[in-house]
């Protein structure tokens, strides 16, 4: 089976004499569904950052979508990122833009015409139950609503890889189940690889998944 | 319109640059117009033993535009009562020919001297009066003024460009969050900074428009123009096609170049 992410002896850190992930080797199959758990501060978000090239490997090798992430060029990184959908832990919505335009961002970047992206955005806002908020600005929304906007944005351009950092962290049970079924749908229908950082693996999931746990810089697969 | 304040300071800065360039151009033009006026009034007197045609004189220097003989009959007529007709006829025969020579441009004192020397090489030319010592003082003052204006407009352009650069750093700071989020979704640099370029272009257009308006008002109310007319200069301070286009070019050039500069050295992204 194809691998979308391959890590060999991957070490990650922000400062010189610190290790957040230490010599981890693992791979993520194309089209699979993966959960990453771990204590707060264990390095889950840092690991995701390495997948979208916001932090470079300190040591070892990392490849994402066949692209070597060690010393990647800006243009290659931009190209890769246009095929990844990210839900950030802190949402990272653009304050000056409406909800509608925020969800449209990946489509704008990929150069879709406004009628194509317009209908795609309407569909996604419908999925996350935010049609009525389309014209508002992020700061006029609740935390949970902002999180759902971030989810819709991550799905907008039908990415080959979705990286979601605690996408249900601020949501009630009902909204959470909406998010899980969206991710499940992307995985089963579009064969999108999904990597989710979470504290609770949902019970409702009807698909096979892998589960990695980060502990003291090590990444262990939980059977 | 949250950033209206930023717009205004950029527009004022661009306007300042444009105005200083335009003042320089207008001064240049005024002096050129004054030179034409001086040129029309200025002539060199040539005293020769033999008659010259305009063509003959012209072949001596490329500066010569035309010449006209100065008639001596008027002077001789005045002497009629005091001299006998015989002596008068003798005088008429021995009297040299006088010519007034007009030039195709207003000469510098050095050019006058050169011309004088050139003409006197011809043995039949006795005397050349160039009036070099009465060379126009107003003109010299204007040249001085032109140099001062030139230095000032350069200094203003340099200082204001630095101000504009600072202003745009501020923009970049304000837009940094949005630009870094766009980067996380793979937006290339030009797309991330498209907003900055749009602002820069819009402000350049507005600054040019204000400049046109300012000069239109100066024209309309006849400031300066009437004063210049008084010293015999008619000049167009602002040409609403050429000058407007050049100003737009300068404003766009400065603002777009500076935007490029801040885009090429971007903030660190997360
Ligand atoms: N930008 C940064 N610069 C320096 N250190 C950082 C930076 N971001 C995170 N860290 C440190 O790296 C470690 C791992 O952080 P990370 O955000 O990956 O944790 P996490 O597992 O996502 O935690 P949480 O569940 O609370 O989100 C923490 O000790 C944190 O202090
Ligand atoms: Mg985290």
ipTM field = 0.92
The answer on pLDDT for B162 being more than 50 is yes
Annotate B148-167 with b (16+ C-beta within 10 A) or e (fewer): ebeeebeebbeebbebbbeb
To test the pocket of ligand 1, the residue of A13, A19, A45, A196 to mutate (highest count of ligand atoms within 8 Å of its CB) is A45
Quote the percentage of chain A above a pLDDT of 70.
100
Q: Is B194 in CB contact (< 8 Å) with chain A?
A: no
In degrees, to the nearest 5, what angle opens at C-alpha B125 toward C-alphas B119 and B128? Answer: 60
The Å distance, Cα A155 to ligand 2 centre, comes to: 20
How close are the terminal C-alpha atoms of chain A, in Å? 19
With beta carbons less than 8 A apart as the criterion, state whether A67 and A73 touch: no
A49 lines ligand 1 (CB under 6 A): no
Residue of higher predicted confidence among A91 and B96: A91
Residue range A40-49: mean pLDDT, rounded: 93
- For residue B268, what pLDDT is reported? 46
As a whole number of angstroms, the distance between CA A53 and CA A62 comes to 10
Closest CA to B51 of B96, B117, B94: B96
A151/chain B closest Cα distance in angstroms: 13
Residue range B245-269: mean pLDDT, rounded: 82
The tokens describing B223, both together, are: 């400031």
Quote the percentage of chain A above a pLDDT of 90.
76
Cβ distance A106 to B185 less than 8 Å, yes or no, reads yes
Cβ distance B182 to A109 less than 8 Å, yes or no, reads yes
pTM, to two decimals:
0.74
- The string of DSSP codes covering A171-200 is --HHHHHHHHHHHHHHHHHS--EEEEE-SS
B193/chain A closest Cα distance in angstroms: 12
A64 CB neighbours in chain B (<8 A) are none
- For residue B269, what pLDDT is reported? 43
As a whole number of angstroms, the distance between CA B177 and CA A147 comes to 18
CA B252 to chain CA centroid, Å, is: 23
Q: Is B186 in CB contact (< 8 Å) with chain A?
A: yes
In degrees, to the nearest 5, what angle opens at C-alpha A86 toward C-alphas A84 and A92? Answer: 135
Closest CA to A130 of A139, A120, A121: A121
B266 CB neighbours in chain A (<8 A) are none
As a whole number of angstroms, the distance between CA B163 and CA B182 comes to 28
The count of CB pairs under 8 A between chains A and B is: 46
The minimal CB distance from B184 to the residues A86, A95, A97 is found for A86
Residue range A168-195: mean pLDDT, rounded: 90
Q: What is the CA radius of gyration of chain B?
A: 31
The minimal CB distance from B186 to the residues A82, A88, A92 is found for A82
Residue range A2-15: mean pLDDT, rounded: 92
The Å distance, Cα B252 to ligand 2 centre, comes to: 45
Q: What is the DSSP letter of B266?
A: P
Q: Which of A195-204, B25-34, B220-229 has the lowest average pLDDT?
A: B220-229
Residue range A58-66: mean pLDDT, rounded: 93
As a whole number of angstroms, the distance between CA B258 and CA B171 comes to 12
* For the CA of A13, the nearest ligand: 1
Residue range A198-214: mean pLDDT, rounded: 90
- For residue B270, what pLDDT is reported? 39
- For residue A175, what pLDDT is reported? 85
Other CB atoms within a 10 A radius of the CB of residue A133 amount to: 21
- The string of DSSP codes covering A140-153 is GS-HHHHHHHHHHH
With beta carbons less than 8 A apart as the criterion, state whether A70 and A61 touch: yes
C-alpha dist (Å) from residue B209 to A55, A92, B216, B219, B225? 47, 39, 10, 15, 21
How close are the terminal C-alpha atoms of chain B, in Å? 28
Cβ distance B187 to A78 less than 8 Å, yes or no, reads yes
Q: What is the mean pLDDT of chain B?
A: 84
As a whole number of angstroms, the distance between CA A146 and CA A138 comes to 6
As a whole number of angstroms, the distance between CA A91 and CA B214 comes to 48
pLDDT in tens, A107-150: 999 988 888 888 999 999 999 999 999 999 999 999 889 999 99
A98 CB neighbours in chain B (<8 A) are none
Cβ distance A78 to B182 less than 8 Å, yes or no, reads no
The answer on pLDDT for A64 being more than 70 is yes
Domain boundaries, chain B: 2-37+137-264, 43-105
With beta carbons less than 8 A apart as the criterion, state whether A89 and A154 touch: no
Domains of chain A: 32-53+74-209 (3.40.50.300)
As a whole number of angstroms, the distance between CA A153 and CA A74 comes to 22
| Residue B68: band (very low, low, confident or very high) from pLDDT cuts 50, 70, 90 | confident
Highest mean pLDDT range out of A79-88, B74-83, B169-178?
A79-88
pLDDT in tens, B7-27: 888 899 999 999 988 888 888
- For residue B107, what pLDDT is reported? 84
As a whole number of angstroms, the distance between CA B205 and CA B207 comes to 5
| Residue B135: band (very low, low, confident or very high) from pLDDT cuts 50, 70, 90 | low
C-alpha dist (Å) from residue B237 to B37, B65, B192, B214, B225? 17, 28, 41, 11, 8
The answer on pLDDT for B158 being more than 50 is yes
With beta carbons less than 8 A apart as the criterion, state whether B138 and B37 touch: no
Q: Whose CA is nearest to atom 8 of ligand 1?
A: A46
Q: What is the mean pLDDT of chain A?
A: 92
Residue range B238-251: mean pLDDT, rounded: 91
- For residue B261, what pLDDT is reported? 82
The answer on pLDDT for A160 being more than 60 is yes
- For residue A50, what pLDDT is reported? 94
pLDDT in tens, B90-122: 887 788 888 888 888 888 878 888 888 888 888
A198 lines ligand 1 (CB under 6 A): no
Q: Whose CA is nearest to atom 7 of ligand 1?
A: A14
Q: For residue A115, with 0-12 CB atoms within 10 Å meaning exposed, 13-18 middle and 19 or more buried, which class applies?
A: exposed
Closest CA to A42 of A151, A203, A199: A199
B270 CB neighbours in chain A (<8 A) are 54
The tokens describing B18, both together, are: 């444009």
The Å distance, Cα A66 to ligand 2 centre, comes to: 25
The answer on pLDDT for A1 being more than 70 is no
The minimal CB distance from B187 to the residues A84, A95, A109 is found for A109
Reported as half-sphere exposure (CB side, CA atoms, 13 A), residue A29 has a value of 10
A41 lines ligand 1 (CB under 6 A): yes
Q: What is the DSSP letter of B134?
A: G
Which conformational region is residue A65 in: left (phi greater than 0), alpha (psi within -120 to 50 degrees), or beta?
A: left
Q: Whose CA is nearest to atom 17 of ligand 1?
A: A45
Q: CA quadruple B177, B181, B186, B190: dihedral positive or negative?
A: negative
Cβ distance B184 to A77 less than 8 Å, yes or no, reads no
């Amino acid at each position: 089976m194809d691998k979308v992410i391959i890590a060999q002896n991957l070490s990650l850190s922000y400062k010189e004499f610190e290790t957040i992930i230490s010599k981890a080797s693992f791979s993520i199959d194309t089209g699979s569904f993966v959960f990453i758990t771990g204590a707060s501060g264990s390095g889950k978000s840092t690991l995701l950052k390495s997948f979208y090239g916001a932090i470079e490997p300190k040591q070892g090798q990392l490849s994402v979508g066949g692209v070597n992430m060690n010393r990647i060029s800006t243009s290659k990184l931009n190209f890769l990122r246009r095929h990844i959908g990210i839900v950030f832990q802190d949402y990272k919505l653009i304050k000056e833009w409406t909800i509608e335009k925020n969800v449209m961002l990946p489509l704008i970047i990929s150069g879709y015409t406004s009628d194509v992206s317009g209908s795609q955005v309407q569909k996604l806002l419908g999925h996350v139950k935010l049609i009525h908020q389309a014209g508002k600005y992020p700061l006029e929304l609740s935390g949970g609503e902002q999180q759902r906007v971030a989810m819709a944005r991550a799905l907008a351009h039908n990415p080959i890889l979705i990286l979601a950092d605690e996408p249900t962290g601020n949501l009630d049970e009902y909204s959470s189940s909406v998010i899980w079924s969206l991710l499940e749908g992307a995985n089963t229908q579009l064969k999108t690889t999904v990597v989710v950082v979470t504290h609770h693996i949902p019970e409702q999931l009807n698909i096979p998944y892998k589960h990695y746990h980060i502990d003291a810089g090590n990444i262990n697969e939980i059977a | 319109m949250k950033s209206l304040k930023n717009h205004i300071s950029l527009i004022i800065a661009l306007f300042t640059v444009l105005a200083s360039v335009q003042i320089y151009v207008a001064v240049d033009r005024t002096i050129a117009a004054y030179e034409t006026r001086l040129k029309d009034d200025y002539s060199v007197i040539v005293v020769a033993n033999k008659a010259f045609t305009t063509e003959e004189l012209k072949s001596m220097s490329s500066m010569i535009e035309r010449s006209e003989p100065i008639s001596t009959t008027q002077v001789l007529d005045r002497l009629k009562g005091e001299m006998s007709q015989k002596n008068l006829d003798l005088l008429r025969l021995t009297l040299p020919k006088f010519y007034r020579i007009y030039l195709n441009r207003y000469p510098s004192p050095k050019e006058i001297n050169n011309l004088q020397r050139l003409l006197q090489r011809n043995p039949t030319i006795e005397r050349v009066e160039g009036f070099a010592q009465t060379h126009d003082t107003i003109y010299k003052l204007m040249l001085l003024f032109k140099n001062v204006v030139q230095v000032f407009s350069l200094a203003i352009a340099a200082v204001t460009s630095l101000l504009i650069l600072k202003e745009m750093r501020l923009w970049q700071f304000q837009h940094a969050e949005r630009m870094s989020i766009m980067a996380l979704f793979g937006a290339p640099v030009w797309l991330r900074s498209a907003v900055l370029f749009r602002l820069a272009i819009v402000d350049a257009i507005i600054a040019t428009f204000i400049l046109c308006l300012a000069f239109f008002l100066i024209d309309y109310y006849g400031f300066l123009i009437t004063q210049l007319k008084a010293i015999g200069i008619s000049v167009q301070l602002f040409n609403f096609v050429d000058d407007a286009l050049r100003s737009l070019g300068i404003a766009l050039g400065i603002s777009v170049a500076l935007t490029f500069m801040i885009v090429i050295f971007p903030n660190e992204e997360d």
